[in-house]
Structure 1
Amino acid sequence: MGAPVLLASEVSKRFGPVKALDKVEFHLDPGEVHALLGINGAGKSTFIKILSGIVQKDSGTITVAGQEVHFRAPEDAIRAGIATVQQHPELVPDMTGYENIFLGRETHGRGMLGRVDQRGLIARAAALLQRFAVPIDLSRTVAQMSAVEREAVAILQALAADDIRVLILDEPTSTLTDVERDDLFRLMNILRDQGISMIYITHQLEEVFEIADSFSVFRGGRCVARMSIDDARAQGVSLATMMLGEAMGEVFPPKAAPGTAGEVILSVRGLSSGLDFADVQFDVRQGEILGVFGLVGSGCDELAKAIFGAQPAERGQILVNGEEVMPGSPRDALAAGIFLVPGDRRTEGLALTRTALFNIPLANLGRASGKGWVLRRRRIREDAQRMTAQVALHPPSLTIPASGYSGGNQQKIVLAKGLYAEADVYIFVEPTVGVDIGARAKIYALIRELAQSAAVIVMSSDCDEVHGIADRTLALHKGRQVEPAMGTFSRDQLLMGGIMGGAHP
């Protein structure tokens, strides 16, 4: 295998009283795909930010290709041969693939206007594709591309710098379908064959055995284990147990006992919105969870937004506790007792530059205010502290900007907003995207707890998630509702209903 291409020794980092990394030991071999695992708050994100030059280590050493390096900015990491593709790549939708790849590194032609040399960009992109053989048309705009094609553009953008040896991929499959994920893995195999070493961060543990050569587990700010995939298979290792440091119990909480559901809280009748979905109808009772399974383009996201007033419905009825409400805005929905945990927490669920203390009371300003709409600051802080404790936010700080938290902990802040809302109806869209196995179990338990006093809907493109958490299920396929002939779907029937529009055995 040869000497490691990347070696970290006794790397430590503190943020005030919080020890994020504690003498981490890590190495990456040439041409290796290495999975980096750990629950939210284990130190993975901090370690990757140090390797990317975003955060500076307090102590320890890092060497690349045998040379000790010191990063004060991302440019230093790139010059040393380390490139990172973030979980949410920042691409310009209206620009072509090749324009995005060389954004900020364009070649300019002569002339007063300093126009970009388009031919030069195309030639450089062609050379890059010849090296890495990525099957993609870079002449299209990013807005015209699929999710996996956008990921490929971000990867090529990272590799466009000279002498990149190490590529860091942060949760690259979190928003991909199974087919797109397989396409990404083919691309990763191409890069591996070209000698690119990759650090692959994921919470999808089943993927580790499919694509990685080895893995490391972070826990409590330390690297507690490193193992090859072959050895892990031979020993029957449980990745979840290694991440948690204890045996993993049932991820999903017990379902409601048959016949124990209370009165109908939410009724949806013949709801339609253009081409997105049509004639959707269902009831949700207190004490139960309704699961809705649908792939990208099924209409699930649009349905959730229509109920929440963020997208207009052309016809139909929405009733809460027997009274008709047709929210024209999220404000109307919140006033009617409807709360949405959106699928894209970064753009739709949080003010990322603001703290948890700012974000949490936004869901219920009436509760946050006293007479004359004056904010009750002490009460808000007490409530926010109680709710962040309930969702197990880590670190448990109310003063860190939401952007400073891992994806899983950002989701916990959105959940704390939901608790603060004291709603009658909760709609969760993709509630555990980018969330580790341990946090997932806590989120499912919280969803079940909310269902004791509210109507709860979970919409997800993860069939196992919907089937595991819900008491009743239905599927959406191209905007059309698919229901079981009787009772509820089996797991396979639910999957077929969402994929093909029919509940096949």
Structure 2
Amino acid sequence: MAAPILTASGVSKRFGPVQALQNVAFHVAPGEVHALLGINGAGKSTFIKILSGIIQKDGGQITVGGEEVHFRTPEDAIRAGIATVQQHPELVPDMTGLDNIFLGRESARRGLFSRIDQRGLERRAKALLSRFPVALDLTLEVGRMSAVEREAVAILQAIAGENTRVLILDEPTSTLTDIEREDLFALMGLLKAQGIAIIYITHQLEEVFAIADSFSIFRNGTCVARMTVDEAKAGRVSLADLMLGEAIGDIFPPRAATAPGDAVLEVGALCLQGDFDGISLTARKGEVLGIFGLVGSGCDELAKAIFGVTPPDSGTLRLRGQVVRLTSPRAALDAGVFLVPGDRRTEGLVLSRAALFNVPLANLRRAAAGRWSLRRRRMQGDARALTGDVALHPPSLTTPASGFSGGNQQKIVLAKGLYSQADVYIFVEPTVGVDIGARAKIYALMRQLSRDAAVIVISSDCDEVHGVADRTLALHKGRQVEPVSGVFSRDALLMAGIMGEVAQ
């Protein structure tokens, strides 16, 4: 393999009492896809932010192309040839793909009154697509694009400069379907062929063997392992065990050993025009109900209809046998229904506020304890206990939610759900961006909650639904698909969600 284009040695970073990175060594070569792995809080995000110029290292050395570099701003990193696509790319949905790619670089001249050269932008886009030919209509507004098309725009935006030598992709497949994932891998292949080094962060461990040449594993702020994918295959290395430092075993807890209890939530012939039609289901205490469906199946819309975000056009909801009309999330929370949304950043958290603010939001009556004002000391004690239950890392109640990794943001949402003390918990895509160790803890939490509440898990990950649920059904293009025999096998559930058919 060629000499490394980027190296790091002895890189360290501390945040107050927390040693986030300690003497990290790392390197990646031109045209190499290198997976960066580790559980949430292992130091991956801190390391990537240092490489991207977002934060500065405390010590150590970084070289690009054999020359030592010091990044004080993201612009410094870009000038050195390091481009980053964050887990949630910041694109302007009302602007076209073309305008997003060259946003801030519309003119060769700088200044307040510099003119946008539209024809020049089109020529530059044509040249860019000649290097990386992807099927992408850049005249389309980003808000109307699919998830993989938006990811492609973000990547083209990142590499639009002439000197990009290293591309960092942070959880790029977290919202993609299997087919869209393959499209992204094809684009990564084009980048690799052009000699661009790719640092690939993912929690989907099967992707490492599908796309990467090599990988590094971070644990507790240090790089504890580095090897090629071929070496890992030959040695039958368990990536999960390396990440955790111990054998993990089966990440799914045992299913309920006893028969489920009384019905808590009953959904009858629920309809929402254009999204789903005639959905009927029962969620019982003592079991986990799983619903599998791909993007566009109506799963997310169903969850939001039950939670009162978008009230259905027709149908009934019963809670503990009583008909209810949940016309808002506030009404749902008051009735004892809690939703862990699929998009935690925009629907689950106030990112600018700390965990101490976010956790009690769903149950302010509990936070006030019958008084006219919030009881801060009690609220703080409860929040500390609940964030401990979900293993928030670092265990800070005062850090803004935006300062945590995606997986730890999800843990704050889960703590918020525990604080709500609900009778019905609906989890939508509960483990997106969550490492395998934290996933096991989340599944165990679901099982624990199901002892006293009804739990519904809605996901586009068939293995997740089948692994964690006692009973399953599928949604396909807004239509409910149930097993003939009462229980879906894993393959039959997958077929039901993809094709809308029940295997005979």
Structure 1 residue aligned with 2:43: 43
Structure 2 residue aligned with 1:162: 162
Q: Is the 8 A contact 2:340 2:413 kept in 1?
A: yes
Shift in CA distance, 165/324, structure 1 to aligned 2, threshold 3 Å: same
Distance in 1, Cα, partners of 2:42 & 2:109: 48
Distance in 2, Cα, partners of 1:376 & 1:39: 34
Kindly indicate whether residue 153 of structure 2 is the aligned counterpart of residue 148 of structure 1.
no
Ranges of 4+ aligned residues in structure 1 off by more than 6 Å? 108-113
Equivalent positions of 1:297-336 (< 5 A) are 297-336=296-335
Distance in 2, Cα, partners of 1:39 & 1:110: 43
Q: Which amino acid aligns with 2:180?
A: E
Kindly provide the CA deviation profile for residues 61-86 of structure 1, in whole angstroms up to 9, marking residues without a partner as x.
00000000000110000011100000
Distance in 2, Cα, partners of 1:81 & 1:218: 24
Structure 2 residue aligned with 1:190: 190
Shift in CA distance, 68/329, structure 1 to aligned 2, threshold 3 Å: same
Q: Is the 8 A contact 1:338 1:424 kept in 2?
A: yes
Distance in 1, Cα, partners of 2:106 & 2:43: 36
Q: Is the 8 A contact 1:108 1:115 kept in 2?
A: no
Shift of 1:134: 2.3
Give secondary structure in 1 for the equivalent of 2:383.
Answer: helix
Q: Which amino acid aligns with 2:433?
A: G
Shift in CA distance, 75/111, structure 1 to aligned 2, threshold 3 Å: closer
Shift of 1:116: 2.0
Distance in 1, Cα, partners of 2:68 & 2:85: 23
Distance in 1, Cα, partners of 2:295 & 2:363: 31
Shift of 1:249: 1.4
Q: Is the 8 A contact 1:34 1:213 kept in 2?
A: yes
Give secondary structure in 2 for the equivalent of 1:122.
Answer: helix
TM-score by length of 1: 0.98
Larger displacement relative to structure 2 (90-99 or 425-434):
90-99
Structure 1 residue aligned with 2:175: 175
Q: Which amino acid aligns with 1:205?
A: L
Distance in 2, Cα, partners of 1:22 & 1:341: 35
Shift of 1:275: 1.2
Shift of 1:2: 2.9
Distance in 1, Cα, partners of 2:313 & 2:259: 35
> Unmatched 5+ residue regions in structure 1?
none
Q: Is the 8 A contact 1:82 1:167 kept in 2?
A: yes
Give secondary structure in 2 for the equivalent of 1:236.
Answer: coil
Structure 2 residue aligned with 1:493: 492
Q: Is the 8 A contact 2:12 2:22 kept in 1?
A: yes
Equivalent positions of 1:14-413 (< 5 A) are 14-107=14-107, 115-257=115-257, 259-413=258-412
Shift of 1:311: 0.7
Distance in 1, Cα, partners of 2:37 & 2:101: 29
Give secondary structure in 2 for the equivalent of 1:366.
Answer: helix
Q: Which amino acid aligns with 2:124?
A: R
Shift of 1:156: 0.6
Number of residue pairs the alignment of both structures matches? 504
Distance in 2, Cα, partners of 1:288 & 1:248: 24
Shift of 1:115: 4.5
Shift of 1:484: 0.8
Q: Is the 8 A contact 1:366 1:373 kept in 2?
A: no
Structure 2 residue aligned with 1:468: 467
Q: Is the 8 A contact 1:33 1:214 kept in 2?
A: yes
Distance in 2, Cα, partners of 1:432 & 1:26: 28
Q: Is the 8 A contact 2:134 2:187 kept in 1?
A: yes
Shift of 1:371: 3.9
Distance in 1, Cα, partners of 2:158 & 2:309: 36
Shift of 1:114: 5.0
Q: Which amino acid aligns with 2:284?
A: R
Give secondary structure in 1 for the equivalent of 2:206.
Answer: helix
Identity %: 71
